[in-house]
Amino acid sequence: MKVLQPFGWKGQIQAAKQIARLSKVGALVLGSQIGAAVPEEIVPAWRGANSMSKSMYRQNEESFKQLWEQVAQEADTSWAVESSLKGLETLGLTHEDVQWMREGAMLLEFKLCRKL
Closest CA to 59 of 92, 16, 97: 16
Query: How far apart, in whole angstroms, are the C-alpha atoms of residue 109 and residue 85?
Result: 6
Residue 73 CB contacts under 8 Å (≥ 6 apart), including other chains: none
Determine contact, residues 12/57, Cβ cutoff 8 Å. Answer: yes
- Tell me, what's the pLDDT at 55? 87
Q: Average of pLDDT values for 17-21?
A: 97
pTM greater than 0.75 (yes/no) = yes
Any bridge partners for residue 81, and if so which?
112
| pLDDT at residue 2 greater than cutoff 80 | no
Rg (CA), the chain: 14
Above 80 in pLDDT, residue 21? yes
Q: What is the pLDDT of residue 103?
A: 84
**Any idea which of 13-17, 44-48, 100-104 has the lowest mean pLDDT?**
44-48
Mean per-residue pLDDT of the chain = 90
Examine the pLDDT at 17 and tell me if it is beyond 90.
yes
The tens digit of pLDDT for each residue in 43-81 reads 877 656 555 568 889 999 999 999 999 999 999 999 999
Residues 84 and 60: their CA atoms lie apart, in Å, by 8
List the one residue out of 115, 112, 116 whose CA is nearest residue 28.
Answer: 112
41 has pLDDT over 80:
yes
